Structure 1
């Protein structure tokens, strides 16, 4: 049974793996340079098919909609299926975009990028080694109705309940770097009163950013000053070796997220 039967009111959800690692371009301009990332046992390679542009973090909003559909279906006892159906207007409303004609065309372009992006990763690998897939195995649109086929890799993670809910105001974040940081903060800080921390050199490597390190530090400082991440507070410290450290923790005074419990059996850490 597909996720088409799920009611339209959904809580945004995303796989924790997609919140911790550099799977998407953070730039609004097309990125053709592949991502080649390695940290410990984690390896990730991402590229566009036939040298085309890879999917962006805004394109991933469609995956958030699809994952949220499947999570809602699973909670109703419906088996997780790679097939997700819904209308284009529903997707646009869910991700907070006006259903104007230009939005429909941009949505089709985003679907093409998701379909054309090739991913190979050691995360959740099988006995055969690293897994390769596209974010969308196939997609079809007819008279405004969408029919998507997701990779089994995503469905397996949803079946294992490896997802977290997101603040709906995530969709209003306009910067790719800002979105990436929110997802990472949401994944690691959760609702722990003490939050979490990363030293900036480690965080820079984890981001797989193409910008030089000083520019990365500048962006971190800018976001700390802007204080725009829903539900979380950022601050910059230094450790005993005088290395800059980004600490982040839930901020109840923002009265946003996290409010609802995370998905079952997921460590909110």
Structure 2
């Protein structure tokens, strides 16, 4: 059964995609693969045949697809790997408008998602690590977009490992601030005391190509700007002299965050 996007969708995303470095944070093409190891989690992400890997902006399409599946599940419909929707409605959901150039960029993003190969230990089967592309296939016809999602993604939706996102996320223009918002949303939820990570740990977790001093500069800039929807940030120095980023829900925000964390919050 094909999941059809309703007119009103609440943005949703898998918590795994909010916690781990599955996407490039740069607007310029990234050809250097992500080869990540932390504790029991491992992953390799790379473009097929020298293609650039998918970016965090390309992942907006996955947010739309997951949101469509969650809407179907909440209506007690069967969750399918086949998702369909109007290209115009998709662009509007992502806050991108529907100019001709937007359609061209949408198709390029779909190609990158299809050409990005992922191997990860997360939710691996008895046969070992899961290997897949973000899209098995896609087709556009008469203004309608058909996507086929990989089983890894659909199984996670069925397993309810999902969090709602603030729609203002789509207005965040930088890859770094988008990555930080997703991580903060995942780990802080509605916990009054929020959560924290030391910056060295966060730098490793981002798998960003920028050096650590640049990473610290970007974090300090975002703390000063306080631009994450629904959350506030602050920095402290631990006894070892390492900067620690703290984050918690903004009690002055009336509309967000809506639901609590759906799964136990971990320290990874």
1:67 match: secondary structure = helix
Query: Which 5+ residue runs of structure 1 have no aligned equivalent?
Result: none
State the alpha-carbon separation in 2 of the partners of residues 256 and 223 from structure 1. 21
Q: CA deviation at 1:193?
A: 0.5
Q: CA deviation at 1:59?
A: 0.3
State the alpha-carbon separation in 2 of the partners of residues 91 and 253 from structure 1. 31
Aligned pairs for 1:238-253 within 5 A = 238-253=237-252
**Residues matched between the structures, number:** 266
Residue equivalent to 1:3: 3
Q: Is the 8 A contact 2:190 2:260 kept in 1?
A: no
Q: CA deviation at 1:242?
A: 2.0
User: Structure 1 residues 268, 77: CA separation in 2 closer, same or farther (over 3 Å shift)?
Assistant: farther
Residue equivalent to 1:214: 213
1:252 match: secondary structure = coil
Q: CA deviation at 1:7?
A: 2.0
Provide the TM-score with structure 1 as the length reference.
Answer: 0.96
Q: CA deviation at 1:254?
A: 3.3
Residue equivalent to 1:172: 171
More off after superposition, 183-192 vs 6-15: 6-15
Residue equivalent to 2:158: 159
Residue equivalent to 1:266: 263
Q: CA deviation at 1:253?
A: 1.3
Q: CA deviation at 1:243?
A: 1.4
Aligned pairs for 1:47-86 within 5 A = 47-86=46-85
Q: CA deviation at 1:256?
A: 4.0
Residue equivalent to 1:196: 195
- Say what the alpha-carbon RMSD is for the aligned residues: 1.2
State the alpha-carbon separation in 2 of the partners of residues 145 and 268 from structure 1. 38
State the alpha-carbon separation in 1 of the partners of residues 102 and 251 from structure 2. 35
Residue equivalent to 1:15: 14
State the alpha-carbon separation in 1 of the partners of residues 6 and 252 from structure 2. 32
Residue equivalent to 2:87: 88
Q: Is the 8 A contact 2:117 2:133 kept in 1?
A: yes
Q: Is the 8 A contact 1:165 1:262 kept in 2?
A: no
Residue by residue, what CA displacement relative to the aligned partner does 1:113-151 show, whole Å, maximum 9, x if unpaired? 000000000000001110100000000001111000000
Query: Which 5+ residue runs of structure 2 have no aligned equivalent?
Result: none
State the alpha-carbon separation in 1 of the partners of residues 265 and 119 from structure 2. 26
1:9 match: secondary structure = coil
State the alpha-carbon separation in 2 of the partners of residues 100 and 66 from structure 1. 21
